[in-house]
Amino acid sequence: MTDLLIFEESLADIAGALNEFPQLRVVCWQPDGQLTVEGQPVAAGDVAPEIGWISFKLLSSGKLKQYVEALLDFSGVCWVQSTHAGLDHPVYRQLAQSGVRLSKSYAQSIPIAEYVLAYVLHHFQGIEARLEAQRSAKWQGIRFRELYGAAGLLSDLVTLAAESRSGRGHLVATSRPCGALLPPTRRPTKLCLAINCLALWSTVTWLYWPVRRTVKPAVSSTRALSGP
């Protein structure tokens, strides 16, 4: 039997899925430090969590730091799954330094992709200048650059792919250690950029290379980025 320590309010969200894993014993943690198993209080010495789950409800509660501290009180913890889009929060460094393996799902792929696209449009459309003109009650034309037909570039990504529903745009980024142009994939991840629906870019080529101080991009010219 393997003990899983979770935020008590998150239990209802995964109760059905847990039925498929009878080898797991769920230990519920409360912000006041109380632990329960199947609704009954238990002492910390009577459980031995090996797995933790940082759920959305835990993040919303503002008790992430307390949960991680409670988790690390157990020496056997070896794996934590997170709902965070990234693992740059200080608690993840704390977990990693304690030898805990960290993992995450791609549940945030769509909102993060839309977040990135929003900032791309915000920049190229000159939204700040438009808002400033609006606040100043000025009728002012704003020059901007269209993205249609442009080339896109992402670096230091592990898994990211999208395919235009219109068939005219393809976006690909893989973990292959290369600096050459990559062909469109036929097996995209479940990431679905808003750009797929809008078909803003007619042809897009993605490049990937690991970002390290000792590695320079193999392709850097505008002509090369535009693809064949």
Question: Which residues, listed in sequence order, are joined to residue 122 by a DSSP beta bridge?
Answer: none
DSSP H or E stretch at residue 79: strand 79-82
pLDDT in tens, 197-211: 333 333 333 333 333
Closest CA to 163 of 131, 206, 224: 206
Asked if 205 and 225 count as a contact pair (C-beta separation under 8 A), the reply is: yes
Q: Is the pLDDT of residue 104 over 70?
A: yes
The overall average pLDDT reported for the chain is 73
Read off the pLDDT band of 153 (50, 70, 90).
Answer: low
CA distance 160 to 9: 32
Which are the contacts of 61, defined by CB distance < 8 A and separation ≥ 6?
A: 7, 9, 31
Asked if 185 and 131 count as a contact pair (C-beta separation under 8 A), the reply is: no
Sequence ranges of the domains in the chain: 2-104, 109-225
DSSP H helices, 33-191, are 56-61, 64-72, 90-97, 109-124, 127-135
pLDDT in tens, 120-136: 888 889 999 999 999 99
CA distance 215 to 179: 10
The CATH architecture of the domain made up of 2-104 is 3-Layer(aba) Sandwich (3.40)
Cα distances (angstroms) measured from residue 140 to each of 121, 127, 129, 186: 19, 12, 9, 44
Q: What percent of the chain has pLDDT over 90?
A: 44
